[in-house]
Amino acid sequence: MPVPKVRKSRQRTRQKKAASLKFAKPALTLCSHCGQPKKPHTVCSNCGYYRGRQVKTIKK
Ligand SMILES: [Zn+2]
């Protein structure tokens, strides 16, 4: 198995990672209660529902 000749510096590793994160889109799912897009595994910020029940009251 080939082995790298020169070790990459932490700066180069992190720069590369930052460049790829720049184009990564955040994961979004649709809320099962109101249908608005939301982050997975979080309480919906539009209706306050999580896993089919209300866990948070949203001020209107
Ligand atoms: Zn919702």
In a domain, 5, yes or no: no
Q: Which stretches of the chain are DSSP H helices?
A: 10-23
In a domain, 32, yes or no: yes
- Tell me how far the alpha carbon of residue 41 lies from the centroid of ligand 1, in angstroms: 12
Q: Of 6-10, 29-33, 34-38, give the range with the top mean pLDDT.
A: 6-10
User: Alpha-carbon dihedral of residues 51, 56, 59, 60, nearest 10 degrees?
Assistant: 20
Q: Is the pLDDT of residue 15 over 90?
A: yes
In a domain, 19, yes or no: no
In a domain, 54, yes or no: yes
In a domain, 38, yes or no: yes
- Tell me how far the alpha carbon of residue 22 lies from the centroid of ligand 1, in angstroms: 28
In a domain, 10, yes or no: no
Q: How confident is the model at residue 51 (pLDDT cuts 50, 70, 90)?
A: confident
- Tell me how far the alpha carbon of residue 48 lies from the centroid of ligand 1, in angstroms: 6
Q: How confident is the model at residue 53 (pLDDT cuts 50, 70, 90)?
A: confident
Cβ atoms of 40 and 29 within 8 Å: the answer is yes
Q: Is the pLDDT of residue 3 over 90?
A: yes
The number of distinct structural domains making up the chain is 1
Neighbours of 13 (CB within 10 A): 11
- Tell me how far the alpha carbon of residue 6 lies from the centroid of ligand 1, in angstroms: 50
Q: CA 23 to CA 12: how far, in whole Å?
A: 18
In a domain, 46, yes or no: yes
- Residue 60 structural domain: 27-60
Q: Is the pLDDT of residue 60 over 80?
A: no
